[in-house]
Amino acid sequence: MDQYSLCNGMVGLFREERHDFLNHLQIVLGYLQINKEESAIAYIKQVHQEMQEISALTRLENPFLVVALLLATQKSKHFDIKLSFHMEQSLTSLQEYQESVINKLMIIMDQILEFLDLNSTGYERQVEIAFQENDHHIIWVITCSPDVSLESVAWEWQNQREQAWLSGNSCQVEKSEHETRLTVYIAKNN
């Protein structure tokens, strides 16, 4: 992602966050004006929970990764898709992600979100991305509902995006009755 796109994305994110914040205040004010204090409290707790999830992302040490994940979260909201991230606390590689690795992650996230948006009939609109690592690889485990076909995403990423696919990297798709899982292995020396 070039600097202009990054800045443009961040400005859009700030605009949306400001808009959402004002909407939240209006909803709480509305509940209070009609004497529905319990509804106002429940709504505030819901918004607080959502902010806690975002707060975990902003505490990452790699600012480029933070921006990429925040922009993906923003895009998922536009598509009405629940996007969640799980990171092992001990992951040192998150701090060391280079721009090229983050760009690969953004390509995959964009493809999956766009696939779910275009093929939403009957699909559970939820994506979970887990960040893991071993001695040789950064590992992303992307999980969706079982009726989502991630094979096309994996195929496109490997074959159509060869400029982003370097030696030592691979991905595989696993399906079960409960989920579809795309596991991506990025060599740490990339």
Element (H, E) at 93: helix 93-96
Residues 6+ apart with CB under 8 A from 23: none
Percent of the chain scoring above 70 in pLDDT: 81
What pLDDT was estimated at residue 35? 96
Domain-wise residue ranges, the chain: 1-59, 61-190
Domain 1-59 has CATH 1.10.8: no
Tell me: the pLDDT tens digits for 63-106?
A: 888 888 888 888 888 888 888 888 766 566 666 677 777 777 88
In which residue are the tokens 């949306």 written?
16
Beta bridge partners of 182: 142, 173
Domain 61-190 has CATH 3.30.565.10: yes
What pLDDT was estimated at residue 92? 62
24, 25, 27, 32 alpha-carbon torsion, rounded to 10°: 140
Strands (E), 18-99: 82-87
What pLDDT was estimated at residue 161? 45
Cβ 145 vs Cβ 124: under 8 Å: yes
